[in-house]
Amino acid sequence: MTTFQVFRAVLRGRDLRRVELAYVGFNVSEYAVWIGMLVYAYQRGGTTQASLIAVLQLVPAALCAPFLGMLGDRHPVARVLALGYVAQAAGMGLTAAAMAADAPVAIVYAGAVFAATAVTVTRPAQAVLMPSLARSPEELTAANVVSSWVETTGGLIAGLVTGAALTIADAGLVFGLMAGVVILSAGLVYGVPSPAPTPGEGESSTTEEALAGFRAVRNHPHLRPLVGLLFALSVLVGAVDVLFVVVAIDLLSLDQAWAGYLNAAWAAGGVVGGLVAVVLVGRRYLSRPIGLGIVVCGLSFVIVGIWPSTAAAVILFLLADVGRTVVDVAARTLLQRTTSADVLGRVFGLLEGATMAALAVGALLVPPLVHLGGAEAALIGIGLLLPLVGAMIARPLLAVDRGARVPVVEIALLRSMPLFAALPAPALEGVARALEPLELPAGTMVIRTGDEGDRFYAIASGEVEVRQDGEVVAELGRGGALGEIALLGEIPRTADVVALTDLRLYALEKEPFLTAVTGHAPTRRAAAALVSQRHPASTQPACAAKGRELPAPDLAVVDNDPQA
Model confidence over 167-179: pLDDT tens digits? 998 899 999 999 9
CATH number of the domain at 1-198, please? 1.20.1250.20
How far apart CA 174 and CA 436 sit, in angstroms, is: 52
Rounded to the nearest integer, the mean pLDDT of the chain is 79
Over 90: is that where the pLDDT of 181 sits? yes
Model confidence over 192-230: pLDDT tens digits? 887 655 444 444 555 565 566 677 777 777 778 888 998
Cross-strand bridge partners of residue 374: none
Model confidence over 493-545: pLDDT tens digits? 888 999 999 998 999 988 788 777 766 443 344 444 545 544 444 443 333 33
| Spatial CB neighbours of 270, under 8 Å, sequence gap ≥ 6 | 152, 155, 156, 321, 322, 324, 325
So what's the pLDDT on residue 195? 63
Positive or negative, the Cα torsion across 541, 547, 550, 555?
negative
So what's the pLDDT on residue 9? 60
What is the 3-state secondary structure of 36-100? HHHHHHHHHHHHHHHHHHHHHHHHHHHHHHHHHCCHHHHCCHHHHHHHHHHHHHHHHHHHHHHHH
The pLDDT-based confidence of 344 (bands split at 50, 70, 90) is: low
For residues 473-499, give the mean pLDDT: 85
Closest CA to 88 of 52, 125, 51, 41: 125
For residues 426-450, give the mean pLDDT: 86
Look up the CATH superfamily of 206-403: MFS general substrate transporter like domains (1.20.1250.20)
Sheet with 464-468, strands from edge to edge, namely 445-447, 496-499, 464-468, 471-476
So what's the pLDDT on residue 452? 85
Question: Is 263:162 a contact under the CB 8 Å cutoff?
Answer: yes
Q: In terms of pLDDT, which residue wins out, 385 or 416? A: 385
So what's the pLDDT on residue 198? 47
Please give the backbone phi and psi of residue 451, each rounded to the nearest 5 degrees, phi first: -70, 160
- pTM value? 0.64
Quick one: how far is CA 118 from the chain centroid? 19
For residues 239-250, give the mean pLDDT: 90
Where do the structural domains in the chain lie, given as residue ranges? 1-198, 206-403, 408-558
Closest CA to 163 of 266, 31, 257: 257
**What is the secondary structure of 139-164 as a DSSP string?**
HHHHHHHHHHHHHHHHHHHHHHHHHH
Question: Is 482:476 a contact under the CB 8 Å cutoff?
Answer: yes
Q: State the architecture of 408-558 in CATH terms.
A: Sandwich (2.60)
Positive or negative, the Cα torsion across 364, 370, 375, 377?
negative
Cross-strand bridge partners of residue 496: 467
* One fold for 1-198 and 206-403: yes
So what's the pLDDT on residue 363? 86
Question: Is 360:238 a contact under the CB 8 Å cutoff?
Answer: yes
DSSP assigned state of 277: G
For residues 389-398, give the mean pLDDT: 92
Max alpha carbon distance in the chain (Å)?
80
SS3 275: helix
How far apart CA 123 and CA 67 sit, in angstroms, is: 13
How far apart CA 468 and CA 497 sit, in angstroms, is: 9
So what's the pLDDT on residue 290? 93
How far apart CA 540 and CA 135 sit, in angstroms, is: 12
Over 70: is that where the pLDDT of 453 sits? yes
